Structure 1
Amino acid sequence: MQRRRSQLVGAAALAACAGAVDLLAVTILGGAFASIVTGNLVTLGYGLSGADPHRALAAVTATAGFGVGVGVWTWLGRARPAAVLGPLAAELVALIVLAAGLLATGSRPDPVAAGALLAVAALAMGGQSAVALRLKVPTTYLTGTLTTAIGALVTGQRSGQGQRFIQLLALVAGAATAAVLRAHLPSAAPLLPPLLLAAAIVLLAHGRRVERTGSAPSHPEQAEPARPRTEPAKV
Protein backbone atom coordinates (compact mmCIF):
# COMPACT_ATOMS: atom_id res chain seq x y z
CA MET A 1 0.00 0.00 0.00
CA GLN A 2 2.79 2.39 0.93
CA ARG A 3 4.69 1.56 -2.27
CA ARG A 4 1.56 2.17 -4.32
CA ARG A 5 1.03 5.55 -2.67
CA SER A 6 4.65 6.58 -3.30
CA GLN A 7 4.38 5.61 -6.96
CA LEU A 8 1.06 7.44 -7.32
CA VAL A 9 2.40 10.69 -5.86
CA GLY A 10 5.69 10.30 -7.70
CA ALA A 11 3.90 9.94 -11.05
CA ALA A 12 1.80 13.01 -10.21
CA ALA A 13 4.99 14.97 -9.51
CA LEU A 14 6.28 13.94 -12.94
CA ALA A 15 3.08 15.19 -14.57
CA ALA A 16 3.34 18.48 -12.66
CA CYS A 17 6.95 18.77 -13.83
CA ALA A 18 5.84 18.31 -17.45
CA GLY A 19 3.16 20.96 -17.03
CA ALA A 20 5.69 23.42 -15.65
CA VAL A 21 8.21 22.73 -18.42
CA ASP A 22 5.57 23.17 -21.12
CA LEU A 23 4.42 26.46 -19.58
CA LEU A 24 7.99 27.81 -19.64
CA ALA A 25 8.53 26.54 -23.17
CA VAL A 26 5.37 28.16 -24.52
CA THR A 27 5.79 31.50 -22.77
CA ILE A 28 9.56 31.96 -22.96
CA LEU A 29 11.12 29.66 -25.56
CA GLY A 30 9.28 30.45 -28.76
CA GLY A 31 5.72 29.25 -28.34
CA ALA A 32 6.25 25.50 -28.89
CA PHE A 33 5.46 22.77 -26.38
CA ALA A 34 8.29 20.71 -24.91
CA SER A 35 6.23 17.53 -24.65
CA ILE A 36 2.99 17.88 -26.66
CA VAL A 37 4.04 16.77 -30.12
CA THR A 38 0.51 16.94 -31.55
CA GLY A 39 0.29 20.65 -30.80
CA ASN A 40 3.74 21.20 -32.28
CA LEU A 41 2.82 19.45 -35.52
CA VAL A 42 -0.24 21.68 -35.85
CA THR A 43 1.95 24.72 -35.17
CA LEU A 44 4.40 23.47 -37.79
CA GLY A 45 1.62 23.30 -40.35
CA TYR A 46 0.57 26.81 -39.45
CA GLY A 47 4.12 28.07 -39.80
CA LEU A 48 4.67 26.33 -43.13
CA SER A 49 1.66 28.16 -44.52
CA GLY A 50 3.74 31.31 -44.34
CA ALA A 51 1.65 32.89 -41.60
CA ASP A 52 4.40 32.62 -38.95
CA PRO A 53 7.64 30.92 -40.07
CA HIS A 54 9.36 31.54 -36.73
CA ARG A 55 6.81 29.35 -34.93
CA ALA A 56 7.49 26.59 -37.44
CA LEU A 57 11.17 26.62 -36.47
CA ALA A 58 10.30 26.34 -32.77
CA ALA A 59 7.90 23.47 -33.49
CA VAL A 60 10.57 21.59 -35.46
CA THR A 61 13.13 22.16 -32.71
CA ALA A 62 10.80 20.90 -29.98
CA THR A 63 9.59 17.88 -31.95
CA ALA A 64 13.12 16.89 -32.91
CA GLY A 65 14.38 17.33 -29.35
CA PHE A 66 11.53 15.25 -28.00
CA GLY A 67 12.20 12.47 -30.49
CA VAL A 68 15.90 12.45 -29.69
CA GLY A 69 15.09 12.28 -25.97
CA VAL A 70 12.83 9.26 -26.43
CA GLY A 71 15.43 7.55 -28.61
CA VAL A 72 18.41 8.24 -26.36
CA TRP A 73 16.67 7.29 -23.10
CA THR A 74 15.27 4.12 -24.69
CA TRP A 75 18.67 3.15 -26.09
CA LEU A 76 20.42 3.77 -22.77
CA GLY A 77 17.83 1.63 -20.99
CA ARG A 78 18.24 -1.45 -23.17
CA ALA A 79 20.45 -3.21 -20.64
CA ARG A 80 18.03 -2.48 -17.79
CA PRO A 81 14.54 -2.12 -19.30
CA ALA A 82 12.92 -1.78 -15.86
CA ALA A 83 15.26 0.98 -14.65
CA VAL A 84 13.53 4.23 -13.67
CA LEU A 85 15.64 6.17 -11.20
CA GLY A 86 18.78 6.36 -13.33
CA PRO A 87 16.97 7.71 -16.41
CA LEU A 88 15.10 10.22 -14.25
CA ALA A 89 18.41 11.36 -12.77
CA ALA A 90 19.65 11.98 -16.31
CA GLU A 91 16.51 14.01 -17.00
CA LEU A 92 17.20 15.99 -13.83
CA VAL A 93 20.59 17.00 -15.24
CA ALA A 94 18.87 18.28 -18.40
CA LEU A 95 16.34 20.28 -16.38
CA ILE A 96 19.10 21.80 -14.25
CA VAL A 97 20.81 22.91 -17.48
CA LEU A 98 17.48 24.39 -18.61
CA ALA A 99 17.04 26.25 -15.31
CA ALA A 100 20.61 27.54 -15.41
CA GLY A 101 20.12 28.82 -18.95
CA LEU A 102 16.89 30.61 -18.07
CA LEU A 103 18.39 32.16 -14.95
CA ALA A 104 21.51 33.25 -16.83
CA THR A 105 19.39 35.04 -19.44
CA GLY A 106 16.90 36.47 -16.95
CA SER A 107 14.21 34.33 -18.63
CA ARG A 108 14.59 36.56 -21.70
CA PRO A 109 16.84 34.53 -24.01
CA ASP A 110 17.63 35.72 -27.51
CA PRO A 111 16.29 33.57 -30.38
CA VAL A 112 19.40 31.39 -30.60
CA ALA A 113 19.52 30.74 -26.84
CA ALA A 114 15.77 30.17 -26.77
CA GLY A 115 16.08 27.53 -29.47
CA ALA A 116 18.88 25.76 -27.63
CA LEU A 117 16.99 25.79 -24.34
CA LEU A 118 13.81 24.59 -26.06
CA ALA A 119 15.77 21.65 -27.45
CA VAL A 120 17.03 20.83 -23.94
CA ALA A 121 13.50 21.06 -22.51
CA ALA A 122 12.08 18.83 -25.24
CA LEU A 123 14.97 16.37 -24.80
CA ALA A 124 14.14 16.08 -21.10
CA MET A 125 10.44 15.57 -21.79
CA GLY A 126 11.19 12.91 -24.38
CA GLY A 127 13.32 11.11 -21.82
CA GLN A 128 10.57 11.36 -19.23
CA SER A 129 8.05 9.97 -21.70
CA ALA A 130 10.29 6.95 -22.26
CA VAL A 131 10.47 6.41 -18.50
CA ALA A 132 6.68 6.78 -18.20
CA LEU A 133 6.28 3.77 -20.46
CA ARG A 134 8.19 1.74 -17.87
CA LEU A 135 6.08 3.15 -15.05
CA LYS A 136 2.96 2.39 -17.11
CA VAL A 137 1.63 5.83 -16.12
CA PRO A 138 1.45 8.70 -18.66
CA THR A 139 3.16 11.84 -17.39
CA THR A 140 3.53 14.09 -20.45
CA TYR A 141 1.01 13.49 -23.24
CA LEU A 142 -2.33 13.06 -21.48
CA THR A 143 -4.85 13.15 -24.32
CA GLY A 144 -5.15 9.38 -24.11
CA THR A 145 -5.49 9.62 -20.34
CA LEU A 146 -8.42 12.00 -20.66
CA THR A 147 -10.02 9.80 -23.33
CA THR A 148 -9.68 6.70 -21.17
CA ALA A 149 -10.94 8.50 -18.06
CA ILE A 150 -14.08 9.80 -19.75
CA GLY A 151 -14.72 6.46 -21.45
CA ALA A 152 -14.39 4.63 -18.14
CA LEU A 153 -16.64 7.21 -16.47
CA VAL A 154 -19.37 6.61 -19.04
CA THR A 155 -19.09 2.82 -18.89
CA GLY A 156 -18.83 2.68 -15.10
CA GLN A 157 -15.31 1.24 -14.94
CA ARG A 158 -13.59 2.46 -11.78
CA SER A 159 -10.23 0.74 -11.98
CA GLY A 160 -7.43 3.28 -12.31
CA GLN A 161 -9.79 6.27 -12.47
CA GLY A 162 -8.30 8.00 -9.47
CA GLN A 163 -4.80 8.01 -10.90
CA ARG A 164 -5.98 9.24 -14.30
CA PHE A 165 -7.67 12.30 -12.85
CA ILE A 166 -4.76 12.91 -10.49
CA GLN A 167 -2.38 12.98 -13.47
CA LEU A 168 -4.57 15.46 -15.33
CA LEU A 169 -4.92 17.73 -12.30
CA ALA A 170 -1.19 17.51 -11.57
CA LEU A 171 -0.34 18.65 -15.09
CA VAL A 172 -2.62 21.68 -14.70
CA ALA A 173 -1.25 22.40 -11.23
CA GLY A 174 2.34 22.32 -12.46
CA ALA A 175 1.57 24.74 -15.29
CA ALA A 176 -0.45 27.04 -13.03
CA THR A 177 2.27 27.14 -10.38
CA ALA A 178 4.91 27.96 -12.99
CA ALA A 179 2.69 30.75 -14.33
CA VAL A 180 2.17 32.24 -10.86
CA LEU A 181 5.90 32.12 -10.16
CA ARG A 182 6.64 33.78 -13.50
CA ALA A 183 4.29 36.60 -12.63
CA HIS A 184 5.29 37.18 -9.00
CA LEU A 185 8.69 35.52 -8.46
CA PRO A 186 10.33 35.14 -11.89
CA SER A 187 13.66 33.86 -10.60
CA ALA A 188 11.95 30.88 -8.97
CA ALA A 189 9.98 29.70 -12.00
CA PRO A 190 12.91 27.94 -13.74
CA LEU A 191 13.67 26.06 -10.51
CA LEU A 192 10.20 24.49 -10.30
CA PRO A 193 10.65 21.68 -12.87
CA PRO A 194 13.89 20.28 -11.40
CA LEU A 195 12.46 20.51 -7.87
CA LEU A 196 9.33 18.59 -8.91
CA LEU A 197 11.44 15.98 -10.68
CA ALA A 198 13.72 15.62 -7.65
CA ALA A 199 10.63 15.07 -5.48
CA ALA A 200 9.40 12.41 -7.91
CA ILE A 201 12.75 10.62 -7.79
CA VAL A 202 12.71 10.59 -3.97
CA LEU A 203 9.14 9.26 -3.88
CA LEU A 204 9.75 6.53 -6.45
CA ALA A 205 12.99 5.51 -4.74
CA HIS A 206 11.12 5.28 -1.45
CA GLY A 207 8.46 3.10 -3.07
CA ARG A 208 11.07 0.73 -4.45
CA ARG A 209 12.83 0.55 -1.10
CA VAL A 210 9.52 -0.32 0.59
CA GLU A 211 8.92 -3.00 -2.03
CA ARG A 212 12.32 -4.59 -1.41
CA THR A 213 11.86 -4.42 2.35
CA GLY A 214 8.40 -5.92 2.14
CA SER A 215 9.50 -8.80 -0.06
CA ALA A 216 12.53 -9.65 2.10
CA PRO A 217 12.06 -12.02 5.08
CA SER A 218 11.95 -10.13 8.35
CA HIS A 219 13.58 -12.95 10.38
CA PRO A 220 16.35 -15.35 9.41
CA GLU A 221 14.17 -18.35 10.19
CA GLN A 222 11.66 -17.17 7.56
CA ALA A 223 14.28 -17.34 4.85
CA GLU A 224 14.91 -21.06 5.34
CA PRO A 225 12.37 -23.22 7.13
CA ALA A 226 13.80 -25.35 9.90
CA ARG A 227 14.36 -28.92 8.79
CA PRO A 228 12.84 -31.65 10.97
CA ARG A 229 15.38 -33.56 12.98
CA THR A 230 15.58 -37.19 12.06
CA GLU A 231 16.48 -39.71 14.73
CA PRO A 232 18.68 -42.61 13.70
CA ALA A 233 16.74 -45.79 13.26
CA LYS A 234 16.98 -48.14 16.21
CA VAL A 235 18.06 -51.67 15.41
Structure 2
Amino acid sequence: MTRIAERDLPRGTALVTMALAACAGAVDLLAFAGLGGVFAGVVTGNLVVAGAGIGTGGFGKIGSAVLATAGFTAGLVAWSRLWRRRPRAILGQLAAEFAVLAVVAGGWLAARGRPGPVAAQLLLVLLATAMGGQSITALRLHSVTTYMTGMITGALHDLVTGRSADPLAALRQIAALVAGAMLASAVFVVARGAVALLPAGLVAAAIVVRLLGERAAARRRRTVR
Protein backbone atom coordinates (compact mmCIF):
# COMPACT_ATOMS: atom_id res chain seq x y z
CA MET A 1 0.00 0.00 0.00
CA THR A 2 1.28 3.44 -0.87
CA ARG A 3 2.05 5.50 2.23
CA ILE A 4 0.34 8.87 2.31
CA ALA A 5 1.88 12.05 3.70
CA GLU A 6 0.21 13.23 6.91
CA ARG A 7 -0.81 16.53 5.32
CA ASP A 8 -3.06 14.52 2.96
CA LEU A 9 -5.02 13.11 5.91
CA PRO A 10 -5.74 16.00 8.28
CA ARG A 11 -9.16 14.87 9.46
CA GLY A 12 -8.30 11.21 9.61
CA THR A 13 -5.11 11.90 11.52
CA ALA A 14 -6.92 14.04 14.10
CA LEU A 15 -9.46 11.27 14.72
CA VAL A 16 -6.70 8.66 14.98
CA THR A 17 -4.71 10.66 17.52
CA MET A 18 -7.84 11.40 19.54
CA ALA A 19 -8.67 7.69 19.69
CA LEU A 20 -5.11 6.97 20.80
CA ALA A 21 -5.26 9.65 23.50
CA ALA A 22 -8.53 8.16 24.76
CA CYS A 23 -6.82 4.77 24.77
CA ALA A 24 -3.95 6.19 26.82
CA GLY A 25 -6.40 7.59 29.36
CA ALA A 26 -8.15 4.23 29.63
CA VAL A 27 -4.85 2.36 29.93
CA ASP A 28 -3.56 4.57 32.73
CA LEU A 29 -6.85 4.23 34.60
CA LEU A 30 -6.63 0.46 34.29
CA ALA A 31 -3.00 0.40 35.40
CA PHE A 32 -3.54 2.74 38.33
CA ALA A 33 -6.81 1.25 39.59
CA GLY A 34 -6.23 -2.40 38.82
CA LEU A 35 -2.52 -3.12 38.48
CA GLY A 36 -0.68 -1.68 41.42
CA GLY A 37 -1.32 2.05 41.66
CA VAL A 38 1.19 3.19 39.04
CA PHE A 39 0.86 4.44 35.48
CA ALA A 40 1.52 2.69 32.20
CA GLY A 41 2.16 5.81 30.12
CA VAL A 42 3.27 8.51 32.57
CA VAL A 43 6.96 8.04 33.30
CA THR A 44 7.20 11.21 35.39
CA GLY A 45 4.44 9.98 37.68
CA ASN A 46 6.14 6.62 38.09
CA LEU A 47 9.47 8.24 38.93
CA VAL A 48 7.72 10.31 41.60
CA VAL A 49 6.06 7.18 42.98
CA ALA A 50 9.43 5.42 43.11
CA GLY A 51 11.10 8.41 44.75
CA ALA A 52 8.32 8.70 47.32
CA GLY A 53 8.62 5.02 48.10
CA ILE A 54 12.36 5.31 48.65
CA GLY A 55 12.02 8.45 50.73
CA THR A 56 9.27 7.16 53.00
CA GLY A 57 10.28 3.54 53.17
CA GLY A 58 7.12 2.46 51.39
CA PHE A 59 8.76 0.07 48.99
CA GLY A 60 5.59 -1.67 47.83
CA LYS A 61 5.09 0.34 44.65
CA ILE A 62 8.73 0.85 43.69
CA GLY A 63 8.92 -2.44 41.81
CA SER A 64 5.76 -1.68 39.86
CA ALA A 65 6.98 1.82 39.00
CA VAL A 66 10.31 0.48 37.78
CA LEU A 67 8.66 -2.26 35.72
CA ALA A 68 6.24 0.19 34.13
CA THR A 69 9.07 2.56 33.24
CA ALA A 70 11.10 -0.31 31.80
CA GLY A 71 8.13 -1.48 29.74
CA PHE A 72 7.51 2.02 28.40
CA THR A 73 11.16 2.33 27.45
CA ALA A 74 11.06 -1.05 25.72
CA GLY A 75 8.07 0.10 23.67
CA LEU A 76 9.86 3.28 22.65
CA VAL A 77 12.90 1.36 21.50
CA ALA A 78 10.97 -1.42 19.76
CA TRP A 79 8.67 0.86 17.76
CA SER A 80 11.57 3.17 16.88
CA ARG A 81 13.72 0.35 15.56
CA LEU A 82 11.10 -1.83 13.90
CA TRP A 83 9.77 1.02 11.77
CA ARG A 84 12.87 3.22 11.54
CA ARG A 85 13.00 2.79 7.74
CA ARG A 86 9.21 3.00 7.33
CA PRO A 87 8.13 5.70 9.78
CA ARG A 88 4.92 6.34 7.81
CA ALA A 89 3.78 2.72 8.07
CA ILE A 90 1.27 3.82 10.68
CA LEU A 91 -1.11 0.89 10.19
CA GLY A 92 1.61 -1.59 11.09
CA GLN A 93 2.48 0.32 14.24
CA LEU A 94 -1.16 0.52 15.27
CA ALA A 95 -1.64 -3.18 14.56
CA ALA A 96 1.30 -4.03 16.81
CA GLU A 97 -0.14 -1.92 19.62
CA PHE A 98 -3.52 -3.58 19.16
CA ALA A 99 -1.90 -7.01 19.41
CA VAL A 100 -0.24 -6.14 22.72
CA LEU A 101 -3.44 -4.67 24.13
CA ALA A 102 -5.41 -7.70 22.97
CA VAL A 103 -3.06 -9.94 24.95
CA VAL A 104 -3.63 -7.74 28.00
CA ALA A 105 -7.39 -7.92 27.50
CA GLY A 106 -7.21 -11.70 27.26
CA GLY A 107 -5.17 -11.97 30.45
CA TRP A 108 -7.45 -9.57 32.31
CA LEU A 109 -10.56 -11.45 31.20
CA ALA A 110 -9.01 -14.79 32.13
CA ALA A 111 -8.35 -13.44 35.63
CA ARG A 112 -11.89 -12.00 35.77
CA GLY A 113 -10.45 -8.56 36.39
CA ARG A 114 -8.46 -9.61 39.43
CA PRO A 115 -5.04 -10.91 38.35
CA GLY A 116 -2.61 -12.21 40.94
CA PRO A 117 0.58 -10.31 41.80
CA VAL A 118 2.78 -11.88 39.12
CA ALA A 119 0.13 -11.69 36.41
CA ALA A 120 -0.62 -8.08 37.34
CA GLN A 121 3.03 -7.12 36.94
CA LEU A 122 3.19 -8.83 33.56
CA LEU A 123 0.04 -7.07 32.36
CA LEU A 124 1.44 -3.77 33.60
CA VAL A 125 4.65 -4.23 31.62
CA LEU A 126 2.66 -5.06 28.49
CA LEU A 127 0.45 -2.00 28.92
CA ALA A 128 3.49 0.21 29.41
CA THR A 129 5.14 -1.30 26.33
CA ALA A 130 2.03 -0.50 24.30
CA MET A 131 2.07 3.09 25.56
CA GLY A 132 5.74 3.49 24.71
CA GLY A 133 5.02 2.24 21.21
CA GLN A 134 1.98 4.49 20.93
CA SER A 135 4.11 7.50 21.88
CA ILE A 136 6.38 6.81 18.90
CA THR A 137 3.39 6.38 16.58
CA ALA A 138 1.93 9.66 17.80
CA LEU A 139 5.27 11.39 17.29
CA ARG A 140 5.23 10.22 13.68
CA LEU A 141 1.71 11.62 13.37
CA HIS A 142 3.00 14.96 14.68
CA SER A 143 0.91 14.68 17.83
CA VAL A 144 1.02 13.66 21.49
CA THR A 145 -1.17 11.04 23.13
CA THR A 146 0.52 10.23 26.45
CA TYR A 147 2.64 13.28 27.37
CA MET A 148 0.06 16.00 27.98
CA THR A 149 2.37 18.25 30.00
CA GLY A 150 4.56 18.58 26.93
CA MET A 151 1.56 19.15 24.69
CA ILE A 152 0.21 21.93 26.90
CA THR A 153 3.66 23.53 27.05
CA GLY A 154 4.08 23.42 23.29
CA ALA A 155 0.54 24.60 22.59
CA LEU A 156 0.77 27.60 24.90
CA HIS A 157 4.20 28.51 23.57
CA ASP A 158 2.96 28.36 19.99
CA LEU A 159 -0.18 30.31 20.87
CA VAL A 160 1.73 33.10 22.58
CA THR A 161 4.35 33.31 19.83
CA GLY A 162 1.78 33.08 17.05
CA ARG A 163 3.16 29.85 15.61
CA SER A 164 0.19 27.59 16.26
CA ALA A 165 -1.31 26.08 13.10
CA ASP A 166 -4.11 24.36 15.03
CA PRO A 167 -4.74 25.93 18.46
CA LEU A 168 -7.47 23.39 19.23
CA ALA A 169 -5.25 20.33 18.76
CA ALA A 170 -4.05 20.29 22.37
CA LEU A 171 -7.58 20.74 23.70
CA ARG A 172 -8.82 17.85 21.56
CA GLN A 173 -6.09 15.54 22.80
CA ILE A 174 -6.56 16.45 26.45
CA ALA A 175 -10.33 16.08 26.20
CA ALA A 176 -9.93 12.70 24.52
CA LEU A 177 -7.54 11.45 27.21
CA VAL A 178 -9.87 12.57 30.01
CA ALA A 179 -12.85 11.02 28.23
CA GLY A 180 -11.00 7.72 27.90
CA ALA A 181 -10.16 7.72 31.60
CA MET A 182 -13.73 8.62 32.54
CA LEU A 183 -15.19 5.86 30.39
CA ALA A 184 -12.71 3.32 31.71
CA SER A 185 -13.46 4.28 35.31
CA ALA A 186 -17.19 3.82 34.70
CA VAL A 187 -16.64 0.41 33.12
CA PHE A 188 -14.22 -0.52 35.92
CA VAL A 189 -16.94 0.11 38.50
CA VAL A 190 -19.83 -1.44 36.59
CA ALA A 191 -18.11 -4.31 34.75
CA ARG A 192 -14.55 -4.62 36.04
CA GLY A 193 -13.82 -7.74 34.04
CA ALA A 194 -14.49 -5.99 30.73
CA VAL A 195 -12.52 -2.78 31.22
CA ALA A 196 -9.39 -4.08 29.48
CA LEU A 197 -11.38 -4.45 26.26
CA LEU A 198 -11.73 -0.67 26.00
CA PRO A 199 -8.11 0.24 25.10
CA ALA A 200 -7.94 -2.45 22.43
CA GLY A 201 -11.29 -1.31 21.05
CA LEU A 202 -10.11 2.29 20.78
CA VAL A 203 -6.97 1.27 18.90
CA ALA A 204 -9.10 -0.90 16.61
CA ALA A 205 -11.20 2.19 15.87
CA ALA A 206 -8.03 4.15 15.12
CA ILE A 207 -6.94 1.43 12.69
CA VAL A 208 -10.26 1.57 10.85
CA VAL A 209 -10.13 5.37 10.58
CA ARG A 210 -6.54 5.29 9.37
CA LEU A 211 -7.26 2.59 6.81
CA LEU A 212 -10.25 4.45 5.41
CA GLY A 213 -8.25 7.67 5.34
CA GLU A 214 -5.36 6.12 3.45
CA ARG A 215 -7.69 4.56 0.91
CA ALA A 216 -9.55 7.85 0.40
CA ALA A 217 -6.30 9.73 -0.02
CA ALA A 218 -5.03 7.16 -2.51
CA ARG A 219 -8.21 7.56 -4.55
CA ARG A 220 -7.80 11.33 -4.55
CA ARG A 221 -4.24 11.04 -5.76
CA ARG A 222 -5.24 8.70 -8.57
CA THR A 223 -7.98 11.14 -9.59
CA VAL A 224 -5.51 14.03 -9.71
CA ARG A 225 -3.19 12.02 -11.90
Q: How does 1:42-191 map to 2 (within 5 A)?
A: 42-154=48-160, 158-191=164-197
- Residue aligned with 1:160, SS: coil
Output one character per residue of 1:94-113: Cα deviation in whole Å (capped at 9) or x when no partner: 00011111111121112111
- Give 1:233's aligned residue: none
> 1:119-178, CA deviations, whole angstroms, 9 ceiling, x for partnerless residues?
000011011111111111111111111122334455565522111110000000000000
C-alpha separation in 1, matches of 2:139 and 2:62: 28
1:28 to 20, 27, 34: 34
Distance 1:187 1:110, change over 3 A: closer
Q: 8 Å contact 1:70–1:126 — kept in the other structure?
A: yes
The one-letter amino acid paired with 1:166 is R
Q: CA deviation at 1:44?
A: 1.1
Tell me what 1:228 maps to.
none
In structure 2, what residue type is equivalent to 1:22?
D
Aligned equivalents of 1:41, 1:105: Cα separation in 2: 28
Q: Which runs of 5+ in 2 are unaligned?
A: 1-6
Q: Are 1:2 and 1:210, in contact at CA under 8 Å, matched by a contact in 2? A: no
Task: Write the letter of the residue equivalent to 2:76.
Answer: V
Change (3 A) 1:22 1:202: same
Give the aligned partner of residue 9 of structure 2: 3
Name the TM-score, length of structure 2 as normaliser.
0.91
Q: Which amino acid aligns with 2:114?
A: R
Aligned AA for 2:171? F
CA contact (8 A) 1:4 1:207 kept: no
- Stretches of structure 1 that go unaligned for 5 or more consecutive residues are 224-235
Alpha-carbon deviation of 1:214? 1.3
Instruction: Give, as a single letter, the amino acid of the residue that structure 1 aligns with 2:57.
Output: A
Q: Which amino acid aligns with 2:104?
A: L
* Bigger Rg over Cα: 1
1:179 CA drift (Å) = 0.1
Q: 2:174 aligns to what SS in structure 1?
A: helix
Q: Which one of the candidate residues 20, 35, 39 is aligned to 1:14? A: 20
Matched AA of 1:103: L
CA distance in 2, matches of 1:66, 1:129: 9
What residue in structure 1 maps to residue 3 of structure 2?
A: none
1:49 is displaced (CA, Å) by 2.2
Identity of aligned residues (%): 47
In the superposition, the TM-score normalised over structure 1's length comes to 0.88
Q: State the AA in 1 paired with 2:216.
A: V
Q: How well do the aligned residues superpose, as a CA RMSD in angstroms? A: 1.7
